[in-house]
Structure 1
C-alpha cells in the first residue's frame, strides 16, 4: 500500500502498541526498535501499562509517522521478536 492509498495523512501522530510478558524487558525492546525507525521520538513518548494481574505489560510509543513504509517496518520488526506477543 502506498502513502496515497493510506487513510492516514503523513506526517501524523501515531501510537504504536506492543504487548508481552512482564518478565521480558519489553519497554527497552520496544523503545530500541521504534526509535531506530523514528529517531526523533522523545523518550517521554513511551508509556507502559501493566495488566490487571501484573503478568503482562503493554508498551505504547507515539511517534510522528512519516510514511506507511516506516510503520510497516516498525510493525514487522516488532512482530518478528519472540518477546512481543501482540501489536496494535
Structure 2
C-alpha cells in the first residue's frame, strides 16, 4: 500500500509535531533533536513552546516539511518511546 493510500495527507506538506513533557531547561532541545534526526534543517521560526498554566509542563511544537507517512511514523515512534515525553500529537 502506498503512502497516499494510508493517509489523507498529500506529501510533501507542512506538518506540526507537538510533544509535551515536564518543563525543564533542555526539554525543547530534546524534542527538536529527535525531530531533526528524521527531518533535518528545522528552522528556529518553526519551533514554538507553550508552558502549562502552573509551569509544570511544556508543550513544544516543531513544524516540519513532511515527505512521507513513514517519516512521520518514525518521528512519533521515537518521541513516544522517550521517557521524558508524556505525549506527542
Q: Is the shorter-chain TM-score for this pair beyond 0.5, marking a shared fold? A: yes
Count residues in correspondence.
Answer: 88
What TM-score comes out, normalization by structure 2 length?
0.92
Shift of 1:40: 2.7
Q: Which region of structure 1 is more displaced relative to structure 2, 74-83 or 21-30?
A: 21-30
Shift of 1:25: 2.0
1:56-78 per-residue CA deviation (whole Å, 9 max, x = no partner) reads 00000000000000000000000
- Please give the root-mean-square deviation of Cα atoms over the aligned residues, in Å: 1.3
Structure 1 gaps of 5+ residues are none
What TM-score comes out, normalization by structure 1 length?
0.93
Structure 1 SS opposite 2:85: coil
Structure 2 gaps of 5+ residues are none
Runs of 4+ aligned residues of structure 1 deviating over 3 Å after TM superposition are none
